[in-house]
Structure 1
Amino acid sequence: MPEIALQNIHKSFGKVDVIRDVSLEIESGEFVVFVGPSGCGKSTLLRVIAGLEDVTDGSVHIAGKDVTDEEPSDRGVAMVFQSYALYPHMTVADNMSFGLRMAHRPKAEIDDKVGRAAKILQLDQLLDRKPGQLSGGQRQRVAIGRAIVRDPKVFLFDEPLSNLDAELRVQMRVEIAKLHKTLGNTMIYVTHDQTEALTLADRIVVLRGGVIEQVGSPLELYENPANAFVAGFIGSPRMNFAAGKGLPGQRIAFGGIEFDSPVEIVDGNEVSVGIRPEHLDSETGVVLPLKVELVEQLGSTTYVHGVLETGETVVAEQRAGGCGLGDTIEVRFDPKKVRLFNAAGMRLR
Structure 2
Amino acid sequence: MQHKKIGDVLISSIICNNLKKIMPNAEIHYLVNKEALPVLEGNPNINRVITLHPKHRTNARAFIKFALQIRREHYDIVIDAYTKLESWIIVWLCAAKRRISYKKKYRTFLYTDNLSREAVKVTQPGRVIDLKLLLIQPFLNNVLPDRYPQIYLSEDEKRNAALLFKKHHIPTKKSLMLNVVGSCPLKTYPLEYMAALVNQIASQVDVNILFNFLPHQKEEAQKVYELCNDDAKKSIFFELSNYDLRTFIAIMNQCDAIIGNEGGAIHIAKALNKPSFTVFSPWINKHDWSTFEDDLNHVAVHLCDFKTELYANTPDAEFKENALELFKELKPEFILPKLSSYLAFHLEQDTD
Higher percent of residues as helix:
2
Higher percent of residues as strand:
1
Structure 2 length-normalised TM: 0.28
Structure 1 length-normalised TM: 0.28
Higher gyration radius (CA): 1
